[in-house]
Amino acid sequence: MYELKFDEKTCETCPTSDCLVKCQYIDIDKDTAKTEIKKMISGEDSFVLHECVTCYACEEYCQRGNHPFYLITDLQEKKGVLPMPKPLKTQFINIPVPTRRDIIQFYGAEEPVISLCIFPQYIKLFSEEKFFQDLSIIIGRYFFCQLMYLHSGNPSLIRERLPGIIENITQHGFKEVIFFHDECYSTLTSYADAYDIEVPFKPIHFYDYLYTKLEREKKKIHPLEVKVAFQRNCSARLTPDIEHFVDDIFNIIGVERVERKYDRENSLCCGGVIRGHQRYDRFVDIQTRNVEDMVNAGVDYCVFQCPACFDFLSEKVLKNRIKPIMMHDLCLLALQGSDK
């Protein structure tokens, strides 16, 4: 029903093929990249489909407004390329099915409203912390964006379920919704636009809200004066225009985002897989290189926005005497005058 907006001619005439050439997980030169891109445009198999780690980065690397990553994931599904074992994949598909039998949880009813996706561990913070007292909260599978299926070779499930998720939000009359997770925001901006899925409300990124609030409370901020590494999660690749808010927030709370090899456009993904995955060793190597880069940069904190990234990397950074922390918690430390 929903077809990908993809300009084949624009892609074929691209002089750099940066979407693949810049990939940090596939070693590929420009000529080979052009050959493989043509194959995929024609619906043919390509080694790219099998080597892709679904980090989303090629969406950001493409400077011509096309959607190479969505093309890759759609073909992975058509060709039966499975980034995860079938038992895990089945569980992955069934757990977050949104149904009307779910309990729809509201904390407050007025805008501004924030969607906490399926992360109940943050309900207490956002419902009780004074800094966030202006927010109403929606949470649960009923509002879950489904974008994670780009990781499992099932992107058609996103298009099957997303219109219903959008309707679940729309029917409550919200004109604007703040999204805590990059994944949700990117779904309702980048992904929905790529497939012409209508979104009748305005998605607001959590960083936008957070920075605006910090500006209002600027006089209460105690600069932290620490060095940080930022773990840029995969879905942030879909909306790089939001990236400036990271620097804006760090500046206002007085932290230094240390220059390092694997940051910004060169970021590595969190390597979020579990034992038994066919690519487990490969992702362990990605995590090792990423954490070593943080150690070499001499940072005090590793800052996360994605709860999944936090779960997969926090123990590893902590073992290297780097404190893992979520972005909102770092901001609250500055507001509370933490001793670091």
- Predicted confidence (pLDDT) at residue 3 exceeds the cutoff of 80: yes
- Predicted confidence (pLDDT) at residue 274 exceeds the cutoff of 60: no
Q: Tell me phi and psi for residue 82, to 5 degrees.
A: -110, 110
What mean pLDDT do residues 221-236 have?
96
Whether the Cβ atoms of residue 188 and residue 145 lie closer than 8 Å to each other: yes
Q: What is the pLDDT of residue 104?
A: 52
- Predicted confidence (pLDDT) at residue 4 exceeds the cutoff of 50: yes
Pairwise CA distance, residues 75 & 79, whole Å:
6
For residue range 140-199, list pLDDT tens digits in order: 888 899 998 998 888 999 999 999 999 989 988 899 999 999 999 999 999 999 999 999
- Predicted confidence (pLDDT) at residue 339 exceeds the cutoff of 50: no
Q: What is the pLDDT of residue 98?
A: 66
Tokens 């773990």 label which residue?
Answer: 231
For residue range 327-338, list pLDDT tens digits in order: 999 999 999 875
Share of the chain above pLDDT 70, in %: 89
Q: What is the pLDDT of residue 106?
A: 60
For residue range 282-328, list pLDDT tens digits in order: 888 899 999 999 999 999 999 999 999 999 999 999 999 999 999 99
Where in the chain are all domains bearing CATH 3.40.50.1860? 217-336
Tell me the range of 61-65, 106-110, 125-129, 302-306 where mean pLDDT is highest.
Answer: 302-306
H/E/C letters for each residue in the chain? CCCCCCCHHHHHCCCCCHHHHCCCCCCCCHHHHHHHHHHHHCCCCCHHHHHCCCCCHHHHHCCCCCCHHHHHHHHHHHCCCCCCCHHHHHHHHHCCCCCCCCCCEEECCCCCEEECCCCHHHHHHHHHCHHHCCCEEEECHHHCCCHHHHHCCCHHHHHHHHHHHHHHHHCCCCCEEEECCHHHHHHHHHHHHHCCCCCCCEEEEHHHHHHHHHHHCHHHCCCCCEEEEEECCHHHHHCHHHHHHHHHHHHHHCEEECCCCCCHHHCCCCCCCCCCCCCHHHHHHHHHHHHHHHHHHCCCEEEECCHHHHHHHHHHHHHCCCEEEEHHHHHHHHHHCCCC
Beta-bridge mates of residue 305: none
Among the ranges given (29-38, 265-274, 317-326), the one the predictor scored with the smallest mean pLDDT: 265-274
Whether the Cβ atoms of residue 170 and residue 200 lie closer than 8 Å to each other: yes
Could you tell me the pLDDT band of residue 278, with boundaries at 50, 70 and 90? low
Could you tell me the pLDDT band of residue 275, with boundaries at 50, 70 and 90? very low
Which amino acid type is present at position 300?
Answer: D
Q: Which of 83, 138, 84, 133 is nearest to 109 (CA)?
A: 138
CATH of the domain spanning 105-209: 3.40.50
Give the right CATH number for 217-336 from 3.40.50.1860, 3.40.50.10210, 3.40.50.460, 1.10.150.650: 3.40.50.1860
Could you tell me the pLDDT band of residue 88, with boundaries at 50, 70 and 90? low
Query: Whole-number mean pLDDT of the chain?
Result: 90
Could you tell me the pLDDT band of residue 271, with boundaries at 50, 70 and 90? confident
83 vs 301, more confident: 301
Cis peptide bond upstream of 112, omega within 30:
yes
Pairwise CA distance, residues 148 & 164, whole Å:
16
Q: What is the pLDDT of residue 103?
A: 47
Whether the Cβ atoms of residue 115 and residue 107 lie closer than 8 Å to each other: no
